[in-house]
């Protein structure tokens, strides 16, 4: 096979002598096909929606524990839930608590959100 036909087989990328037959075996250039890319975008959108929903639930549970439920709307619950979950898992990691199952993960997230609400109450953001 001459170098010109090998260049065409490799989609315009020159191949070394080690890759002489690589174009014949269907080497991918690392780009996702359009249907696969759409599926990845759809999964990413789903993950964002799930994060918002679970963040709202975590924030709502924490606000009920901290008696700030009447002061917080859905947006505050979502923000407190998401940021509080990060805080809870960060603190759990510092003290060596492992989130071994889903129940422990939920508890850590709610406790983190409750700690965040306590901090916000101390700063007089919530009463």
pLDDT of residue 20: 46
Task: Assess whether pLDDT exceeds 50 at residue 85.
Answer: yes
Count: domains in the chain: 1
Q: Which two tokens stand for residue 51?
A: 């994060």
In a domain, 90, yes or no: yes
pLDDT over 90 (residue 69): no
Rounded mean pLDDT, 54-81: 93
Asked if residues 84 and 57 have their Cβ atoms less than 8 Å apart, the reply is: no
Residue 113 belongs to a domain: yes
Return phi, psi of residue 14, to 5°. -65, 140
Q: How many CA atoms lie within 13 A of 85 on its CB side?
A: 21
Residue 102 CB neighbours (<10 A): 8
Its domain, for residue 95, covers 51-122
**Would you state the structure tokens that stand for residue 55, as one six-digit string?**
């963040």
91-110 tens-digit pLDDT: 999 999 988 899 999 999 99
> Does 14 reside within a domain?
no
The answer as to whether 31 is a domain residue is no
Question: Is this model's pTM higher than 0.85 or not?
Answer: no
Asked whether residue 70 is domain-assigned, the answer is: yes
Name residue, tokens 């492992």: 98
For tokens 């805080």, the residue is 87
User: What are the CA-CA distances from residue 51 to residues 8, 36, 103 (Å)?
Assistant: 46, 23, 17
């Amino acid at each position: 096979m001459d170098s010109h036909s090998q260049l065409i087989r490799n989609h315009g990328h020159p191949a070394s002598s080690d890759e002489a037959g690589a174009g014949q075996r269907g080497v991918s250039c690392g780009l996702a096909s359009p249907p696969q890319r759409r599926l990845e975008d759809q999964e990413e959108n789903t993950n964002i929606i799930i994060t918002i929903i679970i963040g709202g639930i975590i924030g709502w549970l924490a606000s009920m524990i901290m008696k700030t439920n009447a002061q917080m709307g859905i947006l505050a619950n979502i923000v407190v839930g998401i940021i509080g979950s990060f805080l809870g898992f960060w603190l759990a990691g510092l003290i060596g608590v492992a989130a071994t199952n889903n129940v422990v993960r939920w508890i850590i997230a709610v406790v983190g959100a409750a700690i965040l609400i306590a901090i916000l109450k101390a700063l007089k953001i919530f009463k």
